[in-house]
Chain A
Amino acid sequence: MPVKISDNDPDRARRFRDAALPYLDDVYTLARYLLRDASDAEDAVQECYLRALKHFDSYRGPAMKPWLFAILRNVCHAEYARRAHAPAGNVEDLPDSAEQVPVWQEAQESPEAQIVRRWDGDTVRRLVAALAEPFRETFVLREIQNLSYREIADVAEVPVGTVMSRLARARAMLRSAWLAEQEQSK
């Protein structure tokens, strides 16, 4: 299903390939977390690279990775949000329970760090995938993609303060989920 684009400049294509393809796994990872569907993610990544190539001439930075992420995010929101299993939500759309749970809930329990350390990839994927969207996105950009707050703010088009509050909420929810899981396994 490759789509030939009209611009037929092999040198430019080569420069683009060398600059952008090393991040394919990262872009695909973000797409998987944003869309939570392997085949939707593939379509989105394909579209992202086509758009990135089209706009490659106007690329002046910042770093290539956040630039690709911003494009991917637009692709996901514009074309896939309706098909995604969880539509793009915002803080107001959250279920009441997520809003009302105090972040320090169950903090009196002794933290069982050993359990956390044993988290494997599948557990992390499952728990992160369960987060509501703006928190999931922020968390993945920070903890899995290692972007700075400034880069996350640029990708998500929100102020840095919002990045911090979303991250706080994401970590609180993830911690609650983790504690709940420990509770169940007892």
Chain B
Amino acid sequence: MKCDEAEILLQALIDGELDAGHAREVEAHVATCAKCGALLTDYREMSKAVANAGAGYTAPLELRRSIEASLPSAQQPSRRAVLRGFAFGSAVSAIAATGLVAIVLRNDDEARIQSEIVSAHLRSLQAGHLTDVVSTDQHTVKPWFNGKLDVAPPVVDLTAQGFTLIGGRLDYVDARALGAVVYRRRSHVINLFVAQTANTEHRAAKTETVQGFNIRRWSERGLNFWAVSDLARDELADFGERFEAAMRAAG
């Protein structure tokens, strides 16, 4: 095999696209040719380096919102939600495997929003994008949201109750950027979405099933909460009750 031929086939060897017969030929050539051997080594290193470098880009929030807003079902945001941040005192405790997402929404088009919340939940699981900030420390997760959203979602540590805080991320529901706090219980992710609402009354929790996911919804202190997960109803209820209790305890 000549070097110029090997140089082309090297690529396919590196990328795992070469059939066994040609792979043997290229390997035989590389074994006896210092030049091609050096190329193979360098290219493999380069390939690894590029893969590890994180050379991708993240789409700007504005672009994502703009595309969401251009889809037929999305409604234009009528006003910016401005919510005060929540400060939660002491860490409550450790939890294992649920994703909790907090979202800020502006109206109560419940069925559509629930469906969007399930979509957001699914996206978070599919895209390998569960968390933008990975931390089990509420004092890391909460400040991360500051400056990214009009209101930082409440972040409560429920580790001792069996729900592990695993991080937060920005998400998009109803064409708006929202904060998501992600918890884990065993292998189950819980996303909690928190939305501003004009109604400051307490609304008791209600659980519904949408597309096979359980959504527990409640309102407290001018915020709507949606916790979504594939957890069983009773476990999701347990999560919601403990979260509400922790919020009340924090004043």
Contacts and interface: CB of A to CB of B under 8 A. Distances in A.
Lowest 6 A-B CB distances belong to which pairs?
A10-B73, A28-B59, A124-B55, A2-B70, A2-B69, A22-B127
Instruction: Tell me if B's interface is mostly helix, strand, loop or mixed.
Output: helix
Interface of B: 3, 7-12, 15, 17, 34-36, 38-39, 41-43, 45-60, 62-64, 66-74, 76, 115, 119, 122-123, 126-127, 129
| Size class of the A contact interface (CB-based, 8 Å) | 35 or more
A25 B63 CA distance: 10
14 contacts: A2-B67, A22-B126, A24-B67, A28-B63, A107-B34, A119-B49, A119-B52, A128-B55, A143-B50, A148-B17, A164-B12, A171-B11, A171-B43, A178-B46
Given A46-B66, A111-B38, A149 B15 contact: yes
Instruction: Tell me if A's interface is mostly helix, strand, loop or mixed.
Output: helix
B15 A111 contact: no
A14 interface: yes
Taking each of A3, A8, A119, which has the highest tally of chain B beta carbons within 10 Å of its own beta carbon? A119
Contacts of A3: 70
Contact of A45 (B58, B63, B71): B63
Contact of B71 (A13, A124, A175): A13
A49 B67 contact: yes
Contacts of A167: 11, 15
Contacts of B68: 17, 21
A26 interface: yes
